[in-house]
């Protein structure tokens, strides 16, 4: 699948047919001697801690961007918890109140960034 100078094309084609295979899962060109290792390291099914079955080669991306158990930080208190618990936690955490040093009123944590504009 690469551009080859015409003068080298026949030799290149012979070499490829003898030594290269196209992976049936990802369509990558892989040396025949490494195909078994490629399939075992990239395409074998593994189970994530969230119980999703996924190809081993895709696990890292899943764990960082899609796994419901990936770590997440609360925007209000900065504690780390599982992503699937974040929304409920932030609803509770943002509803806590703190006393405003300017006006003395109790302000919900979720409103603290906007409060200085209307304070007093």
For residue 28, give both structure tokens: 């990558």
Query: How does pLDDT run across 54-110, given as a tens digit for each residue?
Result: 998 899 999 999 999 999 999 999 999 999 999 999 999 999 999 999 899 999 999
Closest CA to 38 of 48, 30, 46, 50: 30
Q: What is the CA radius of gyration of the chain?
A: 27
pLDDT at residue 57, rounded to an integer: 87
pLDDT at residue 8, rounded to an integer: 87
C-alpha–C-alpha distance, residues 112 and 91, integer Å: 14
């Amino acid at each position: 699948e690469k551009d080859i100078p015409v003068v080298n094309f026949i030799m290149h084609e012979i070499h490829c047919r003898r030594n290269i295979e196209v992976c049936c899962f990802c369509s990558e060109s892989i040396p025949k001697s490494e195909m078994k290792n490629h399939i075992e390291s990239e395409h074998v099914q593994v189970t994530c801690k969230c119980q999703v079955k996924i190809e081993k080669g895709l696990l890292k991306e899943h764990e960082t961007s899609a796994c419901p158990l990936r770590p997440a930080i609360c925007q209000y208190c900065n504690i780390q918890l599982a992503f699937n618990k974040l929304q409920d936690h932030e609803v509770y955490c943002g509803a806590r109140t703190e006393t405003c040093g300017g006006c003395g009123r109790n302000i919900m944590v979720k409103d603290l960034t906007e409060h200085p504009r209307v304070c007093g």
